[in-house]
Chains A and B, each alone.
Chain A
Amino acid sequence: MTEQTSSYCQVGSFAVGNRLVDPHLRTVQSDRLRPNALTSGHRACQGCGEALGARFVLDAAMAATDRQLIVVNATGCLEVFSTPYPETAWQVAWMHSLFGNTAAVATGVAAALKVRGDTATRVIAQAGDGGTVDIGFGCLSGMFERNDDVLFVCYDNQAYMNTGVQRSASTPAAARTATTEARGREPGNAFGQGKNLPALAVAHEIPYVATASVAYLHDLEAKVGRAMELHGARYLHVLVPCPLGWGAASRDTIRLARLACETGLFPLFEAAHGEILSATPIRHREPVEAYLRPQRRFAHLFADPPRTDDIARIQAIADRNIGRFDLLGERAGKGSR
């Protein structure tokens, strides 16, 4: 193991110990009086990364805006598990219209606030990966291009979970879904496909783009905070493991969200106006196997005989990200922390 400084890290864990930091550096989540935008009693699966991600993001946004927030939500798990009529788990002004129009509805909300001269109230649109990269992309790209004053948050669980785990353009190569079964010569989702939405968002040259993971709460909250300081179109892409769709243990949600980053498969970065500003270095580089093995959606890669070829291709994807974003700090000359 390489030498490391244990800043904010407790021994044997990478969780940030709130007890060790100054009160003003503590997370919104650790506050007893956090807004709880998504309160308990909703019907998400145990260990749902999306439920966690939505609460983290919206609580941070409410804290940043003095609770002056309106949220527009796409159809998907998050919408369905939170608002079974006549109940609602939302403690924030919240609206659901359709699956593919969330960004445009949010544009309408923002326009209504602007025309009324309400500069305090801010707007967040949120959707799953399907509602973002596939059916919602037209409206999202329009919202970006017009630089409408909306933060769009994608909770990426890498498939259409609400309809029973079908492939989206965010489903990773080799992953088994209900429409990319683990059979035949090329089991699971095809290689060489998919849409890199954070990169597309950067290409729109909007004021702020960031990726985040539910494993890194401080980082996620900081990114929401920075996004809320800015105006115009902003985009946050949060990786949220789905125990049901990924075939993973509920207790592994945070572990997988972390491994996705530490393997290099899900790089954490920030960008502004078309330029990458920074990427979060990997603290402990892990081989992709460590991430793939605990997930049954990749089980066919480890069958007899194992698909070492596919695993190598996935490793190559991770390596490419590491190179592209200098995730090991090699170009910056720092080495791993």
Chain B
Amino acid sequence: MLRQIEGSRAVAEAVALCRPRVVSAYPISPQTHIIEGVGSLVKSGRLKPCEFINVESEFAAMSVSIGAAATGARAYTATSGPGLLDMAEAVFNASGLGLPIVMTVANRAVGAPINIGNDHSDAMALRDSGWIQLFAETNQHAVDLHIQAFRLAERLSVPVMVCMDGFILTHSVERVEIPTQEQVDRYLRPFAPQQVLDPAAPVSIGAMVGPEAFTEVRYLAHARLLEALVCIPELAAEFERVVGRPSGGLVSAYRSEDAETIVVALGSVVGTVKDVVDQMREEGLKIGVVAVTTFRPFPEQALGQALEGAHRVVVIEKAFAVGGRGVLGAQVDALVSDRGTKTYTVVAGLGGRSIPEASLRRVLGEAIRGELGAMSFLDLDRVVVDRELARMAEDPRRAPSTARVPRDVRENAARIV
């Protein structure tokens, strides 16, 4: 059914259609509307049977999911930014135990300074946790990915994180087609766990493994995660057959076939980039964009193919490795640099800063003219940063001031106006 609906509510509805049996909830912006939505569907009796548990922390939220999944129940939870880090130890544990939990990550910055706005620092911090990580471009995409996520998780016994940009997607109201219960039931059958806690056939789950076998165990987890690269396109194709809409997959390309310049990005910013691509195409520039839908496992082959023929690749990233390079950027660089393709990493949209089309056009123009640095920060306020760097140079022990920078930024903005 086509509905005008908030992204969080749409995801809550999609999750309910997947009939999770245990949902654990701990509030954090911008994820709150999702768990409120699921909770409301449970309370109203529309989602049943389902145990909705208000836990005391994200660490508990993931741990409850672990216990439920190990006992054969389809388990779901959602979180954001600091919440994801609070549960980090249990996130690794869930994948290590091969439990097919599905979790929404309404992507949020990680402090200090505390910031509830959107970026991808949370998901990137846990990119090596052994979970499949999918990034939604639109709310329609988020709905579809959640339904595919349960199927994927249970097919491979691997947990899946569906990442959707906090506020930008979670809090925006747009038209979304929600599949019918009948369609979802056809696509997603009841959970048939591979191993389960059962008094009738007792097993010991979570034994200690020493150096004699740990490498092999990790290798097998890696091999299992790589299987998702085959599985994801198959399940996306099946989704299209059942629901009648293409959605999901590894990467998704837009006007990139003959492109000399290709933008690579994750999540909702792809929409803005598409508009910029259209504008620049009108001006006769050969430019396109490739969205990485599946970030973990990393779709090397599919992305490598999608970037074939490009002279330059500009990676727009809402996170970066502090003291290092971009995260996605470094991986893209490793993929295409030996073909002679130049790569640029543009860090953008940190802590909820908007990514204006004009700024994107400017950096893309610089990249095309060969004027862009290998790594740059979109719309960085150089005046403010240089002033603070000068202060820090005077007193090397002084850390960058989180109090002064916002004030300087305000003053600077006032001057510009």
Which residues on A are within 8 Å of B, measured CB to CB? 67-70, 72, 79-80, 83-88, 90-98, 100-101, 104-117, 121, 138-139, 141-142, 145-146
Q: Which residues of B contact A110 (CB under 8 A)?
A: 67
List residues of chain B with CB under 8 Å of any chain A CB. Answer: 21-22, 24, 49-51, 53-57, 59-60, 62-73, 75, 89-90, 93, 97, 197-199, 201-210, 213
Chain A residues, CB < 8 A from B66: 97, 101, 105, 108
Is A83 in contact with B64, judged by CB distance below 8 angstroms? no
Distance, CA A107 to CA B71, complexed state (A): 11
For residue B71, which residues in chain A have a CB less than 8 angstroms away from its CB? 70, 108-109, 112-113
A69: B residues at CB distance < 8 A: 199
Closest 7 CB pairs of A and B: A108-B67, A142-B56, A112-B71, A104-B63, A96-B206, A112-B73, A101-B63
Cross-chain contact B199 with A138 (CB below 8 angstroms)? no
Interface pair B67/A104, CB less than 8 Å apart:
yes
Question: Could you tell me if A108 and B59 are in contact, using CB atoms closer than 8 angstroms?
Answer: no
B199 and A67 within 8 A (CB): yes
In contact, A104 and B64 (Cβ under 8 angstroms): yes
Q: Which B residues are CB-close (under 8 A) to A95?
A: 67, 70, 197, 204-206
Given the complex of chains A and B, what is the CA–CA distance between A146 and B25 in angstroms? 13
B54: which A residues are within 8 A, CB to CB? 146
Check A111–B205 contact: CB distance below 8 A: no
Chain A: CB-nearest residue to B203 = A93
Report yes or no: A111 in contact with B53, Cβ–Cβ below 8 A: yes
Which of A111, A115, A138, A139 has most chain B Cβ within 10 Å? A111
Contact A80–B56 (Cβ < 8 Å): no
Q: Are B63 and A80 in contact (CB under 8 A)?
A: no
Contacts of B93 in A (CB 8 A): 97-98
> Contact between B21 and A115 (Cβ–Cβ < 8 Å)?
yes
B109 to chain A, nearest CB (A): 24
Determine if B208 and A108 form an interchain contact, defined as CB atoms under 8 angstroms apart. Answer: no
A-B residue pairs in contact (CB < 8 Å), sample of 19: A69-B199, A85-B207, A85-B208, A94-B202, A95-B197, A96-B204, A104-B59, A105-B64, A107-B63, A107-B67, A109-B71, A111-B53, A111-B73, A112-B21, A115-B21, A115-B49, A116-B21, A139-B59, A139-B63
CB-defined contacts of B60 to chain A, threshold 8 Å: 101, 104, 107, 138-139, 142
B204 touches A97 (CB 8 A): no
Rounded to whole Å, the gap between the CB of B100 and the closest CB of chain A is 13
Contacts of A96 in B (CB 8 A): 204-207
Assuming the contacts A98-B89, A104-B59, A146-B54, asked whether A109 and B67 have C-beta atoms less than 8 A apart, the reply is: yes
Query: Smallest CB–CB gap between B59 and chain A, Å?
Result: 6
Q: Judging by beta carbons under 8 Å apart, are B202 and A90 in contact?
A: yes
Among A96, A104, A107, A146, chain B packs the most CB atoms within 10 A around the CB of A104
CB distance from A271 to the nearest CB of B (A): 22
Do residues A106 and B67 form an inter-chain contact, with CB atoms below 8 A?
Answer: yes
Residues of A within 8 A of B62 (CB): 101
The chain A residue sitting closest to B92, CB to CB, is A98
Write the nearest CB–CB distance from A270 to chain B, whole angstroms: 26
B24 in contact with A108 (CB, 8 Å)? yes
User: Of B55, B65, B69, B93, which is in contact with the most chain A CB atoms at under 10 Å from its CB?
Assistant: B55
Check B199 against A108 for contact (C-beta < 8 Å).
Answer: no
* A105-B64, A112-B67, A116-B73 known; A85-B53 Cβ under 8 A: no
With the chains together, A69 CA to B200 CA distance in Å?
9
Identify the interface centre among A72, A88, A108, A113: most chain B CB within 10 Å of its CB. A108
With CB as the reference atom, state the residue of chain A lying closest to B73.
A112
Q: Once bound together, how far apart are the Cα atoms of A105 and B191, in whole Å? A: 19
Min CB distance, B307 to chain A, in Å? 40
With A85-B213, A108-B65, A142-B60 already in contact, the answer to whether A97 and B90 are too (CB < 8 A) is yes
Measured in the bound complex, the distance between the Cα atoms of B28 and A281 in whole Å is: 49
Contact of A109 among B55, B70, B204 (CB under 8 A): B70
Bound-state Cα–Cα, A87 to B204, Å: 9
A113 vs B21: C-alpha distance in the bound complex, in angstroms? Answer: 10
By a CB distance below 8 angstroms, the chain A residues around B53 are 107, 111, 146
Residue of A nearest to B97 (CB): A97
Cβ–Cβ contact B57 & A112, under 8 A: no
**A115 in contact with B63 (CB, 8 Å):** no
Chain B residues, CB < 8 A from A88: 204, 207
- CB-CB nearest in chain A for B94: A97
Name, among B22, B24, B72, B210, the residue most crowded by chain A CB atoms within 10 Å (CB to CB): B22
Known: A97-B93, A98-B90, A109-B70. A138 touches B56 (CB 8 A): yes
B57 touches A105 (CB 8 A): no
Given contacts A111-B21, A138-B57, 18 further A-B contacts (CB under 8 A): A68-B199, A86-B207, A92-B199, A93-B198, A97-B93, A98-B90, A100-B89, A108-B64, A108-B68, A108-B69, A108-B71, A109-B70, A110-B67, A112-B22, A112-B75, A139-B57, A142-B56, A146-B53
Instruction: State whether B207 touches A101 (Cβ < 8 A).
Output: no
Chain B residues, CB < 8 A from A139: 56-57, 59-60, 63
